[in-house]
């Protein structure tokens, strides 16, 4: 019997080893076979689910399935799918084949001759697909059905080549063609009958949200289609020409009220080439025959003009029209020659915005406008915002009597070093009278309006207090005074942020605010609060899920859905809270990361996903009790063919005595009796994301955990807690004890440990390798190595000075170089580069707008001077990360070859031996491995 048992055990062991040995190892070519799910959506009636699958750089697939998971249609090259509101049709875009486009580009085919998109209209009841070629754009009504509107591209008819034309002594007017200037042909289609109506040369078009109305503007063609603005009643099949003008008129911001009873638009009917344009605001009501002029130069507030750049919108009750007023345009003398124009930047020390910020925001400044309303009922204009208070916050339905206006300008200069970018003076303005009153000076954080517009509210980051301001009684109330609602784990030298809020209940009766764990309901006038959940006792964090996008309040009459996250186990799930019973019920919980569910508009069906390290986040459908789940997608069944990996939560203590968590990834065929090379990858705190799936893909900045685990590596990701003033040492005190604790487990090859990180992670790695030789190789992406020179740099993507991040945010120095020179010195790896013995791969790109790329140069040229093994990758024109796929693939190949050489003793690639000379850039990549 014993021999039989031994034989059976050996047989099972052999079978297990055989199974693992038969599994494939992930390679770079495998990135092309992994799907990602994009734009999942559920029909209003909950019967259908639509999503796109994108596989690497290949053409996407659009799939529609019923709510039992049965496939209805799978269409290649399709994306951007939408269901009609009545769930009878699905509409999507069909692209040309990618390989065809590539070949046409190689053949130098012009853009206008490239294949155009098609429109797919799929009848869900009849299971019938209709394709419409050369579609430029399309729109569906939001809350009603049966119609679609789309515009057609201007295409060249190759079947009717242009015949030879003979010159005429008379000058003929050129034939008008569809274009961005002239407009495109608009087709209005009845989806039930397929009947179509084509309108030529349409420049703008839009459906009303609720009413069966379409509005459009056209430059006109003939007697039937004169230039102007039209309103089409689709129930009555009637077109009304509400604004009549000439064909050179330009139209802006055509907007309808929800019911379709009102429209607004801006017109420029001046046919001259004047640089100062006369914009006029018009509005139309269904009771009127023609649109009426509301605002022009004559009745605009002094010094202002109607703006063509701010969107027009209506209040929910449709009595107010909101639009923009702008200052006069700044126009350059057009007679000046280039050699006569002075080309100088003037930087001024006390300007609110740094010149680099002004450059980035120049286009926005040219289009800047100030929110204004026109009271359609009282025929009165009320300017809400102005130069003194330029920013506006309106109630969510635009119906309230008050708006908030704010001015950040007095604090913009100091925000360069304080990082308080939202600090402002706050005022309220009466939307009936236009009168305003300042209510808070130097408000440190953003303020909002409650849904009904009865309260201003916000979080004062300096005092760590949530507050309300009753707009009627003018009463300011500190809701959370003497309570802890600020970030309890804040470790940056700044005032702690809040955990946010869930929303308001109906009629602004109460506001629900988050602390670290729970939801609290507060009376906005009395300040009394009660805790709704009991997360703190169990280390569980609860958060509200908004299921109805049309509802701007939390309905206490219905059970509400919450997400849960266990801060110890990292499990998550869904929780149902019953306001009437003042208690809840855990619906779902497990070692997964769950998405926020998306609910069907007209029933209780939801789609959601769950994921773990080993499980891709496929789409699931269920009712809101989550008792019966049906798997809709199976995006990557091939994963089971590959040697994947496992992940586990590990713990240790820092040198400062802090208990820390981290993630350890092992190969699927892990054998504890063997020793494995390990790569340490970290940023700040990542362990909460332990249940995230790592789809194989060429990452832009980080190693892919699944890829490296499949190839026999361990991956260790430690959490880091920081002490202000000592970010480098903080990283050392957390990471290095974590590494040694992994070594003590017995399966880490302590002679072959690498480290990899990017940006803030890249900085910490640069610091670590000046302090320890525990790493055999390191990749440091976009690192800061000289905090003094970086402190004086610019974040070129935004134009911001970098000072704030050292004094108050991520870099955590806690002050300026003249206040803490020693801190800057101690935290700058550049001063200890001679102590580095670890071979380094640096990636820093010359268009990096986050970290100045000269930091990477400082790092590399110093290492080079000292003869330290180092390589610098610069993807020309790339920003903080390489985004182009060919560059991402290249980076991943080089990084793998780098680590394989140092941690697995694989041969060196040629690019590490001889580099890639400038004359060979883009020709020879140097991937070839040195012959053993």
In the chain, the domains with their CATH numbers are: 642-920 (3.40.50.1820)
pLDDT digits (tens, 9 = 90+) for 746-779: 999 999 999 999 999 999 999 999 999 999 999 9
Q: What is the Cβ-side half-sphere exposure of residue 855, based on CA atoms within 13 angstroms? A: 34
CA–CA gap between residue 610 and residue 590 (Å, rounded): 10
Band of residue 334 on the pLDDT scale cut at 50, 70, 90: confident
39: pLDDT strictly greater than 70? yes
pLDDT band at 902 (very low <50, low <70, confident <90, very high): very high
pLDDT band at 21 (very low <50, low <70, confident <90, very high): low
| For residue 164, pLDDT beyond 50 | no
In the beta sheet, which residues pair with residue 61? 53, 76
Secondary structure element (H or E) that encloses residue 13, with its range: helix 2-22
pLDDT class for 168, splitting at 50, 70, 90?
very low
The structure tokens listed for 764 are 């910490």
pLDDT at position 173, please? Answer: 60
d(CA 91, CA 148): 9
Given this model, what pLDDT does residue 170 score? 45
Arithmetic mean of pLDDT over the chain: 93
Burial 623-636 (b: 16+ CB within 10 A, else e): ebebeeeeebbebb
Q: Which of 178-192, 545-559, 672-686 has the highest mean pLDDT?
A: 672-686
Which stretches of 438-591 are DSSP H helices? none
Count of CB atoms situated within 10 Å of the CB of 414: 13
Sign of the dihedral defined by the CA atoms of residues 16, 21, 27, 32, in that order: negative
Are 574 and 553 in contact by the 8 Å Cβ rule? The answer is no
**Helix (H) / strand (E) containing 497:** none
- 533 falls in which pLDDT band (50, 70, 90)? very high
Please indicate, yes or no, whether the overall pTM of this predicted structure exceeds 0.75: yes
Assign 236 to helix, strand or coil.
coil
Given this model, what pLDDT does residue 271 score? 76
pLDDT of residue 514: 98
Distances (CA, A) of 743 to 318, 589, 670, 710, 746: 69, 33, 15, 20, 6
With 90 as the cut, is the pLDDT of residue 154 above it?
Answer: no
Among residues 491, 409, 499, the alpha carbon closest in space to that of 461 is found at: 499
């Amino acid at each position: 019997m014993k021999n039989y048992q031994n034989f059976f055990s050996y047989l099972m062991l052999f079978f297990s080893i055989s199974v693992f040995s038969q599994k494939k190892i992930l390679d770079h070519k495998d990135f092309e076979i992994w799907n990602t799910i994009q734009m999942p959506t559920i029909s209003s009636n909950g019967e259908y689910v639509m999503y796109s699958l994108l596989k690497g750089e290949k053409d996407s697939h659009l799939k529609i399935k019923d709510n039992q998971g049965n496939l209805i249609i799978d269409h290649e090259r399709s994306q951007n799918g939408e269901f009609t509101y009545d769930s009878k049709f699905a509409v999507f875009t069909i692209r040309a084949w990618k390989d065809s486009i590539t070949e046409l580009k190689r053949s130098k085919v012009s853009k206008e001759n490239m294949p155009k998109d098609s429109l797919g209209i799929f009848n869900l009841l009849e299971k019938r697909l209709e394709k419409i070629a050369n579609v430029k754009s399309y729109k569906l009504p939001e809350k009603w059905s049966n119609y679609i509107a789309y515009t057609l591209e201007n295409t060249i008819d190759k079947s009717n080549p242009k015949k030879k034309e003979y010159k005429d002594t008379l000058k003929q007017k050129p034939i008008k063609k569809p274009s961005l200037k002239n407009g495109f042909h608009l087709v209005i289609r009845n989806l039930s009958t397929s009947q179509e109506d084509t309108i030529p040369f349409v420049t703008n078009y839009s459906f009303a949200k609720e009413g069966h109305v379409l509005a459009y503007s056209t430059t006109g063609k003939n007697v039937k289609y004169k230039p102007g603005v039209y309103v089409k009643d689709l129930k009555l099949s009637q077109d009304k020409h509400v604004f009549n003008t000439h064909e050179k008129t330009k139209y802006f911001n055509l907007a309808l009220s929800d019911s379709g009873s009102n429209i607004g638009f801006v017109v420029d009917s001046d046919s001259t080439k004047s640089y100062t344009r006369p914009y006029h605001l018009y509005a139309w009501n269904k009771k009127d025959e023609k649109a009426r002029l509301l605002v022009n130069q004559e009745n605009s507030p002094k010094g202002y003009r109607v703006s063509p750049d701010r969107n027009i919108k209506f209040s929910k009750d449709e009595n107010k029209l909101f639009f923009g007023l702008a200052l006069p345009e700044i126009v350059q003398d057009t007679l000046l020659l280039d050699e006569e124009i002075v080309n100088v930047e003037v930087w001024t020390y006390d300007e609110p915005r740094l010149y680099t910020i002004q450059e980035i925001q120049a286009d926005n400044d040219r289009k800047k406008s100030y929110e204004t309303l026109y009271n359609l009922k009282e025929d009165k204009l009320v300017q809400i915002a102005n130069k003194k208070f330029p920013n506006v916050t309106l109630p969510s339905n635009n119906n309230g009597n008050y708006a908030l206006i704010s001015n950040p300008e007095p604090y913009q200069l100091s925000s360069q070093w304080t990082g308080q970018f939202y600090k402002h003076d706050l005022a309220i303005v009466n939307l009936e009278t236009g009168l305003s009153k300042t209510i808070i000076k130097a408000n440190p954080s953003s303020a909002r309006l409650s849904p009904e517009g009865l309260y201003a509210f916000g979080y004062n980051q300096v005092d760590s207090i949530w507050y309300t301001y009753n707009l009627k009684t003018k009463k300011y109330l500190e809701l959370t005074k003497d309570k802890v609602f600020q970030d309890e784990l804040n470790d940056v030298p700044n005032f702690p942020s809040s955990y946010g809020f869930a929303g308001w209940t109906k009629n602004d009766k109460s506001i629900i605010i988050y602390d670290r764990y729970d939801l609290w309901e507060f009376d906005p006038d009395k300040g009394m609060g009660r805790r709704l959940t009991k997360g703190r006792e169990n280390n569980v964090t609860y958060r509200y899920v908004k299921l109805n996008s049309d509802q701007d309040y939390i309905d206490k009459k219905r059970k509400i859905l919450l997400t849960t996250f266990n801060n110890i186990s990292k499990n998550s799930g869904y929780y149902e809270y019953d306001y009437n019973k003042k208690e809840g019920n855990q619906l779902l919980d497990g070692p997964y990361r769950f998405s926020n569910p998306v609910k069907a508009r007209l029933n209780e069906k939801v789609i959601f996903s769950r994921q773990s390290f080993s499980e891709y986040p496929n789409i699931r459908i269920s009712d809101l009790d989550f008792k019966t789940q049906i798997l809709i997608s199976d995006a990557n069944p091939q994963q089971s063919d590959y040697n994947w990996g496992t992940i586990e939560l590990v713990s240790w203590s820092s040198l400062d005595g802090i208990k820390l968590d981290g993630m350890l990834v092992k190969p699927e065929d892990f054998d504890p009796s063997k020793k494995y090379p390990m790569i340490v990858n970290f940023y700040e705190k990542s362990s909460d994301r332990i249940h995230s799936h790592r789809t194989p893909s060429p990452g832009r900045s980080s190693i892919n955990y699944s890829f490296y685990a499949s190839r026999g590596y361990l991956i260790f990701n430690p959490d880091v807690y920081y002490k202000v003033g000592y970010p480098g040492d903080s990283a050392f005190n957390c990471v290095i004890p974590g590494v040694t604790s992994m070594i003590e487990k017995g399966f880490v090859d302590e002679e072959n440990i690498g480290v990899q990180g990017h940006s803030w992670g890249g900085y910490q790695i640069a610091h670590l390798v000046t302090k320890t030789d525990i790493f055999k190789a390191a990749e440091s992406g976009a690192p800061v190595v000289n905090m003094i020179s970086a402190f004086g740099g610019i974040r070129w993507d935004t134009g911001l000075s970098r000072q704030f991040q050292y004094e108050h945010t991520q870099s955590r120095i806690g002050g300026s170089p003249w206040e803490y020179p020693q801190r800057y010195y101690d935290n700058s790896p550049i001063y200890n580069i001679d102590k580095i013995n670890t071979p380094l791969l640096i990636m820093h790109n010359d268009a990096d707008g986050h970290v100045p790329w000269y930091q990477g140069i400082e790092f590399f040229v110093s290492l080079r001077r000292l003869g330290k093994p180092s390589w610098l990758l610069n993807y020309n024109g790339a920003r903080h990360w390489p985004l182009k796929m060919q560059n991402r693939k290249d980076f991943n190949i080089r990084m793998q070859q780098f680590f394989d050489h140092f941690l697995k003793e694989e041969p060196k690639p040629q690019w590490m031996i001889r580099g890639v000379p400038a004359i060979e850039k883009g020709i020879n990549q140097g991937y070839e491995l040195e012959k053993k």
